[in-house]
Amino acid sequence: MAVDYLVIVVYLAGMLAMGWWGMRRARSKSEFLVAGRRLGPAMYSGTMAAIVLGGASTIGGVGLGYQYGLSGAWMVFTIGLGLLALSVFFSARIARLKVYTVSEMLDLRYGGGRAGIISGLVMWAYTLMLAVTSTIAYATIFDVLFDLNRTLAIVLGGSIVVAYSTLGGMWSITLTDMVQFVVKTIGVLLLLLPIAVVKAGGFAEMKAQLPTEYFDPLGIGGETIFTYVLIYTFGMLIGQDIWQRVFTARSDRTAKWGGTIAGTYCLAYALAGAVIGTAAKVLYPKLGSPDDAFATIVKDELPMGVRGLVLAAALAAVMSTSSGALIACATVANNDIWSRLRGTGADAPAGDHDEVKGNRAFILLMGLAVIGTAIAIDNVVEALTVAYNLLVGGLLVPILGGLVWKRGTVYGALASVVVGGVAVVVLMATHGILANEPVYYGLLASLAAYVIVSLATPATDAAVLAAWRERLAGRSPELASEPVPASQ
């Protein structure tokens, strides 16, 4: 294992070095939070794929393949579908808005700033729990690597992510995500996938050893697939962690086509994870938990050195999602909650140094909160379900409604957030966190409240809508001091 340890240590040291390098570039709020809105297609697509394919997509995706066969790909597949839908239909408009958070978009669309803090609280809860679930996954990986206890593993992995995220903000995260994307591609797609299939005797032997439902594309069940679409496909459309990456694109064309490439990559990654899990089922039919499939096949079947690289790939998957969720959580906490409570908006004048220093402090603070919460919570699936139920049930309707329906009003948006969010919480309490009803009925309640209240209240002021259309067209600058961007 000495070579494997060396690979992992070099990888972790490289992450910290990139954080230090990113600190030298992040000299303004725009550079720190959205990498100066300067990413080209190659870097944009790589980092976007890295953030959406986290520990749940890698370790969890293989686990679903172990449990259900090829249909276990559906969870990650719906993530890829959501990213494709976002990129094709919405990303160009989102990129042209030149904002930092989803709540700022709601303020621009509905006017008055009244939707911002409530939506900010919901989005903050989502990004916090998303970061927590990624941080918990460190325990699994470091247990395989170094036989560390759970708390120490969380502190070690979480501290490295917090360190490089705090130092360089989005520039550091972008650089580390590109490395993580390459490591995941080599480790999972090019090494683990073919090795697992060969070790299992090839596809013919896999089919001979396993029940036929393992090769049924719908074997996981139609209701489960539908729930995945509601939670993950729609969740990709509105998450702050995803939008903040869209804001890094240097043009709306980059956002559209770079995101399309990333979404297509996710579909291939989904199938790869399911195939690896299916192969693991042939090799280890009696594992105690499906989530042990990834670590077991890596530990027992891969040669020295390759094993270290594939474990680094799993670590990369976790770190990319964790860092993206962390900076999103800190951005929402600072821009949408703290600045509003102080009575200063996102556009309040401040020096670049003060802006970067303040956002760096919030990343550190949120990082400590994430590590502490991760130590206290045991169930990753429940934490992730709570996050996505709140996001989809509370924010999907007012965000997409604002983009496609001009009759939507600020009161309709507020009612939608409150009614949908409360319905989700109540139904999770009565039916259980993992039940399907919370997201089903919470989303319906949110939609009904949005439409009814919007139609019952005065239409949004014409001046607000005119300013909104200017932003959507890319004809308004991010700040008064910045030039209007050239049309794409």
The pLDDT assigned to 480 comes to: 41
The pLDDT assigned to 483 comes to: 41
- Under the banding of pLDDT at 50, 70 and 90, the label for residue 259 is very high
With 0-12 CB in 10 A as exposed, 13-18 as middle and 19+ as buried, what is 333?
buried
pLDDT tens for each residue of 107-147: 888 886 666 678 888 889 888 888 888 888 777 677 666 77
Angle between helices 380-404 and 410-431 (to 10 degrees): 160
Which has more pLDDT, 365 or 24?
A: 365
Residue 481 has pLDDT above 50, yes or no: no
Residue 347 has pLDDT above 80, yes or no: no
Give the mean model confidence (pLDDT) for residues 189-204: 93
- Under the banding of pLDDT at 50, 70 and 90, the label for residue 488 is very low
Across the chain, what does the average pLDDT equal?
85
pLDDT tens for each residue of 49-94: 988 887 778 888 999 999 999 999 999 999 999 999 999 998 988 8
Residue 440 corresponds to which tokens in the numbers above?
Answer: 């089903």
Query: pTM to 2 decimals?
Result: 0.85
Residue 22 has pLDDT above 50, yes or no: yes
What φ, ψ does residue 220 adopt, rounded to 5°? -75, -20
The pLDDT assigned to 388 comes to: 85
The pLDDT assigned to 418 comes to: 92
Task: Specify the range with the lowest mean pLDDT, choosing from 391-395, 443-447, 448-452.
Answer: 391-395
Give the mean model confidence (pLDDT) for residues 230-251: 89
CB atoms within 10 A of CB 187: 26
Residue 7 has pLDDT above 60, yes or no: yes
Nearest to 377 by CA among 151, 142, 160, 157: 151
Long-range Cβ pairs for the range 36-42 (8 Å, 24+): 36/171, 36/248, 37/98, 37/247, 37/248, 37/249, 37/250, 37/478, 38/248, 38/250, 39/174, 39/248, 39/249, 39/250, 39/254, 39/258, 40/250, 40/254, 40/258, 41/254, 41/257, 41/258, 41/261, 42/258
Euclidean distance between the first and the last CA atom of the chain, given in angstroms as a whole number: 52
Q: How far is CA 479 from CA 92, 98, 100, 109, 277, in A?
A: 19, 9, 12, 17, 49
Nearest to 321 by CA among 22, 51, 5: 51
